[in-house]
Amino acid sequence: MITQQSLVEFLDRFFSVDRYPEEERGGIYRVSDRPIRRLGLALEPIPQIDYWITKNQIDALFLHRPWQLNSNLDIGVVFYHLAFDERLTLGFNLQLADVLSLVNVQSFGYKAERAIGMIGGVPSQSFDRYCVQVREIFGGYESAFGQADTVGKVAIVGAMNDGLIRSAANQGASVYITGQFRVSAKQAVLDTGMCVIEVGHRRCEQWGLRALSAILRERWAELRTIVI
């Protein structure tokens, strides 16, 4: 039987929440002792969420941003915000590294002694071809620009600034994947000739939610996950 406590214990380990301040660790948002057979996953509460919960026979919810939740249903809720962003979007995300065929993956960039990105090699290919792969994985992107005859090393980072662009270039990366383009990094992009793919913040989160759904099903064969 899957309980809210066993779910949280697994997620605490997966997200390594001990690296974060107490107020950033997430965990139980609404307590419930209801057994979990069907888990709903969403970035935040949707309109008429009670109807969605009832229709899909949801026993518990995972929410990335739970603060606007307004539900009277007797259902347990767990949440992880910062840890989810850093572990399952464009941080040091080994699930994404596998999908993007990164090899020799190393951590890249740090905030509060935690890696905020990764850098690694990819099979040699054109930038246009690599953009197609990124678009297929995330379901699109906001923008992609730059010129590179051959892509061989890529930085994937949940932030963008002058120093990070120059550091990625110094380590041999020719492509920089991030959630949102920052004007403050424009000169570094021009100076280094870095190609940039701006995926979009929400697309990154949606990828992470789908990835988490698969991870939880691997952990519990009997668990059914339903993603909004």
In angstroms, how far is CA 103 from the centroid of its own chain?
A: 19
Enumerate domains of the chain plus CATH numbers: 4-84+206-227 (3.40.1390.30), 91-198 (3.40.1390.30)
Going by pLDDT thresholds of 50, 70 and 90, the confidence category of residue 73 is confident
pTM of the model: 0.94
Residue 149: per-residue pLDDT = 85
Contact status, residue 138 vs residue 199, Cβ threshold 8 Å: yes
Residue 72: per-residue pLDDT = 82
Residue 184: per-residue pLDDT = 96
> What token pair was written down for 111?
């905030």
- Tens-place pLDDT, residues 124-155: 999 999 999 999 999 999 999 998 889 999 99
Going by pLDDT thresholds of 50, 70 and 90, the confidence category of residue 158 is very high
Going by pLDDT thresholds of 50, 70 and 90, the confidence category of residue 119 is very high
Please say if the pLDDT value at position 57 is more than 90.
Answer: yes
Residue 147: per-residue pLDDT = 87
